[in-house]
A = this chain, B = another copy of it.
Amino acid sequence: MTEEIERKFLVEGNGWRGLASAVYFCQGYLSTIKERTVRVRVCDTQAWLTIKSTNQGITRTEFEYSIPVEDAQHMLRYMVEQPVIEKYRYHIRLNNLVWEVDEFLGANQGLIVAEVELSHANQQIVLPDWIGQEVSDDPRYYNSNLVSLPFTLW
């Protein structure tokens, strides 16, 4: 079990490009109810099942287990809610923080967000100049909600 404290922002401009290489993620949800999510994610030759609790502010409890890629592929194809979420992720290290920039594809094409994990909820952070509006509290940007209402339909 880990506790995840994250803030999420929109990304503005292209100043972040070139700071890291892209990794392709495909993920889907076995459950998207607001009390908890159950996510299946495939990245290259690895796959995980991840269970997250409800947000308490910007904090969530998370359990993550590695599973066989073939199992995950079957779940993504036949069992999860459609459409699946596809995105490129970029890990960008700046000022002792790791920013995860997600550039969405498919039904969420055009959406680019950046998440940063904090060690405590009130941690002060330096925002890079390509960071725009904070959307930590906006449930439309939860990946689980981008399944039922993808960005291209907003």
Interface residues, chain A, with chain B CB atoms under 8 Å away: 1, 30-31, 33, 35-36, 38, 49, 51, 53, 61, 63, 65, 67, 70-71, 74-75, 78-79
Contact = CB atoms under 8 A, between A and B. Distances in A.
Given A1-B74, A30-B31, A51-B79, 13 more contacts: A30-B38, A30-B51, A31-B33, A35-B79, A38-B38, A49-B49, A49-B51, A49-B65, A51-B75, A53-B78, A53-B79, A63-B71, A63-B74
A30 B38 CA distance: 8
B71 A36 contact: no
A65 B79 CA distance: 16
A65 B65 CA distance: 9
Contacts of A65: 49, 65, 67
6 contacts: A35-B79, A49-B65, A51-B75, A61-B78, A63-B75, A65-B65
A74 B51 CA distance: 12
Contacts of A67: 63, 65
A71 B1 contact: yes
A80 to B, nearest CB: 8
Nearest to A63: B71
Contacts of A70: 1
A27 to B, nearest CB: 15
